Amino acid sequence: MIEKRLRLKKNEERRLKAGHLWIFSNEVDVEATPLKAFEAGELALVEDSRGQAMGTAYVNPDSLISARLLTRNPRVAISQKFFQHRFEQAMKLRDRLYGKPFYRLAHGESDGVPGVVVDRFGDVLAIQTNTAGADKLRPLIVAALESLLEPRAIVVRNESGLRQLEGLGEETAVISGTLDGPVVIEENGARFRIDVMAGQKTGWFYDHRENRAKAAALAQGLRVLDLFAYSGAWGLSAAVSGAESVLCVDASQSALDLAAENARLNDMADRVDYQRADVFDFLKQAREARQHYDLIVLDPPALIKRKKDMKAGLEAYRRLNQCALQILAPGGILVSASCSYHLQRETLHDTLRATARQLDRHLVFIGQGGQGGDHPVHPAIPETDYLKAYFCVSGPSL
């Protein structure tokens, strides 16, 4: 039985009733239920201004998002059984979408587990608990995953900037089972060796799976440039699909070493080359050397992490797309992507339009994409819809 209550101010329940799961600190009636009375991660029964129960949430008095709703049924206990049911539902959806156990198993609020991310790499799981509430509930989360899937290992990869906002530290560790090295996954007909312990995020970016498949289908016989290549997900998929050649460019030598290993794993070593370089520097040098590519993938890390980064981030996206278009062969394809939530799809659209006109190019969109089905979008939470990609063809001005 949950004893603590968190009461909302008058009319502040409207967003929750519309489907959202977050409660901001300025929406709480702190005279009736002081936030300072809660410990970070503590469970509470959420009430509207009249005292009517609206569900159960966990609370962090030190965060702008002061509470996140776990269930709208106040009678449901937050237990191992609760999380196991949520994970079972999430897994049913993924198994319907994908034929093999390589996917994001749980995507936070969209799967009813706020603050929790679980990536599945066969019999190895990587989890992130990005809020104080999720962190406090981690023993129940781990127990639920162990009971449901009996994984060989569970790795925690708690290194995200979201944890800093919640007052949490970083942690990387094997917390269940044993892991003796990299694991191999399959995606779009290719195999990839990934480093779950030391790779970026949880070791792999499943969210662009469908976009990589679309790019690979367009790559047959083309010279492909994979910028910000990391471990070669875009480039290797293109090579396996019949690209004439692929060049992977990344600032990290360890990432390129992993990409080279993945090329050998797929018997594509003769089609793929690698260059360690800052992407901006590479693009400048390629333009000066009059190098051209038939298909360019531009998938940078998030360049606008906070609203205050907007101006500098927009300029970085503009420069990257301009430089990429300058070395794109006539009639070539540019895949321009962004994982920055604060860069709206319409803004990227207009950046591409304006850049093409500045270069006096005729640019058309032949497709667009977002995140895969294992990163579902919650219709009431815009923040869950973050990924966008445009497939563009560029040629001489009309």
One digit per residue, the tens of pLDDT, for the chain of length 398 reads: 788 999 999 999 999 999 999 999 999 999 999 999 999 999 999 999 999 999 999 999 999 999 999 999 999 999 999 999 999 999 999 999 999 999 999 999 999 999 999 999 999 999 999 999 999 999 999 999 999 999 999 999 998 888 888 889 999 999 999 998 889 999 999 999 999 998 788 889 999 999 999 999 999 999 999 999 999 999 999 999 999 999 999 999 999 999 999 999 999 999 999 999 999 999 999 999 999 999 999 999 999 888 888 999 999 999 999 999 999 999 999 999 999 999 999 999 999 999 999 999 999 999 999 999 999 999 999 999 999 999 999 999 98
In 3-state terms, the chain is what percent helix, strand and coil (to 5)? Answer: 35, 30, 35
Determine the length of the chain: 398
Assess whether the region 5-71 and the region 195-396 belong to the same CATH fold.
Answer: no
For residue 56, the number of C-alpha atoms closer than 13 Å in the C-beta half-sphere is 20
pTM of the model: 0.94
Longest Cα–Cα distance of the chain, Å, equals 70
If one counts every other C-beta atom within 10 angstroms of the C-beta of residue 31, the result is: 8
Query: What is the spatial distance between Cα 328 and Cα 362, in angstroms, rounded to a whole number?
Result: 12
pLDDT computed for residue 68 by the predictor: 98
Residues 6+ apart with CB under 8 A from 382: none
pLDDT computed for residue 75 by the predictor: 94
Out of 3.50.50.60, 3.40.50.800, 2.30.130.10, 3.30.460.80, which CATH number does the structure's domain 5-71 have?
2.30.130.10
Query: What is the spatial distance between Cα 152 and Cα 372, in angstroms, rounded to a whole number?
Result: 26
Residue type, 369: G
DSSP state of 26: G
Which 3-state string (H, E, C) describes 36-67?
HHCCCCEEEEEECCCCCEEEEEEECCCCCEEE
Q: Assign residue 160 a region: left if phi > 0, alpha if psi is -120 to 50, beta otherwise? A: beta
* Residue 167 structure tokens: 């007052």
If one counts every other C-beta atom within 10 angstroms of the C-beta of residue 142, the result is: 20
Among candidate residues 356, 384, 385, 211, the one with its CA nearest the CA of residue 298 = 211
What dihedral do alpha carbons 346, 347, 353, 357 form, nearest 10°? 150
Residue pair 391/365 in contact (Cβ under 8 Å)? The answer is yes
| Alpha helices by DSSP H, 219-366 | 233-240, 253-265, 279-288, 310-326, 345-358
Residue pair 354/332 in contact (Cβ under 8 Å)? The answer is no
Residue pair 46/8 in contact (Cβ under 8 Å)? The answer is yes
Crossing angle of helices 310-326 and 279-288, rounded to 10°: 30
Query: What is the spatial distance between Cα 68 and Cα 129, in angstroms, rounded to a whole number?
Result: 13
Query: What is the spatial distance between Cα 100 and Cα 108, in angstroms, rounded to a whole number?
Result: 21
Phi, psi of 14 (to 5 degrees): -65, -40
CATH of domain 80-180: 3.30.750.80
- Domain 195-396 architecture: 3-Layer(aba) Sandwich (3.40)
Query: What's the Cα-to-Cα distance from 137 to each of 109, 153, 242, 377, rounded to whole Å?
Result: 15, 19, 47, 23
Domain ranges of the chain: 5-71, 80-180, 195-396
Q: Exposed, middle or buried by CB within 10 Å (0-12, 13-18, 19+), for 253?
A: exposed
Residue pair 303/334 in contact (Cβ under 8 Å)? The answer is no
Query: What is the spatial distance between Cα 263 and Cα 356, in angstroms, rounded to a whole number?
Result: 33
* Residue 127 structure tokens: 């989890």
Query: What is the spatial distance between Cα 232 and Cα 248, in angstroms, rounded to a whole number?
Result: 7
